[in-house]
Structure 1
């Protein structure tokens, strides 16, 4: 059995910094969404992904991949969203076994109401604290980390942001 490759002191500090920062960030985002919109982060992500999709719908398998959920977790979450009236399940017209999750008008309203506060918090906790160069570095590091876990082709099928960059908003252009 090979000997463990223990972290150096610098690596340990880097790991702990990453772990603490990511936990604090997601805990704060979760708390804000629950407090202001009565949504979990997972629920918001599902609703937001559907709101951005053509026809406000996605195949369940694609939605699970995009949200990095296993299919069972997504199915339970969709069941809750169906009961709330925010999502409906629709049979796939292209695959008899497949199902689509489709955002309802009420679900779209929920996203519209919760998105501004959520995006403002993301901006203030992350983007306002980082220079343009640091944002690019964070994106590059995140890409390296994600591709160490999943192959790039699968990340691309998930809608990985690094594979589909968005243009800068008009206010950020020079």
Structure 2
């Protein structure tokens, strides 16, 4: 067995803050959304992804893929959102095994209410701290690193 290629000092100096960011940013956004809007970041993501979809609707499988959520966790989230009247589920017209999730008018209204708070926090925590060049670099690096991770 060959010796692993350990991270050098420069790589470690990049890696450790990245790991902290990966853990802390979602927790921070979740805490802020819960405190100020009464909704979790995961639920917000479901509403936001549905609102961006044509007709405000996706199959549960596609919604799970786009929210990077397991089918069982998504099913629980959508069930909670259904109870609040923000999302509805219905079977596919051609394949009854396939379920669709659709954003309701009440869900769209909730997203409209919550989005300004969320965007303000994202801006405060991320984009206001970066130059325009750093935003471009962040986009390029994140896009490059995420490619292939969801396969």
Q: Same fold (TM over 0.5)?
A: yes
> What is the rounded CA distance, in whole Å, between the counterparts of 1:95 and 1:2 in structure 2?
51
- The one-character-per-residue Cα deviations of 1:6-50 (angstroms, maximum 9, x if unpaired) are 211221121111112333322221111000111111110001111
Aligned equivalent of 2:125: 125
Alignment match, 2:139? 139
Distance across 1 between alignment mates of 2:3 and 2:79? 46
Q: Does 1:44 align with 2:44?
A: yes
Q: Provide the rounded CA distance (Å) in 1 between the counterparts of 2:24 and 2:71.
A: 27
For residues 1-174 of structure 1, what are the structure 2 equivalents within 5 Å? Answer: 1-150=1-150
Structure 1 unmatched runs, 5+: 152-174
Scaled by the length of structure 1, the TM-score of the pair is: 0.80
Task: Return 5+ residue gaps in structure 2 as ranges.
Answer: none
How many residue pairs get aligned? The number is 151
The CA RMSD measured in Å over matched residues stands at 1.5
- Map of 1:154 onto structure 2: none
What is the TM-score with the length of structure 2 in the denominator? Answer: 0.92
Which aligned runs of 4 or more in structure 1 are off by greater than 4 angstroms?
Answer: none
Q: Deviation of residue 125 (structure 1)?
A: 1.6
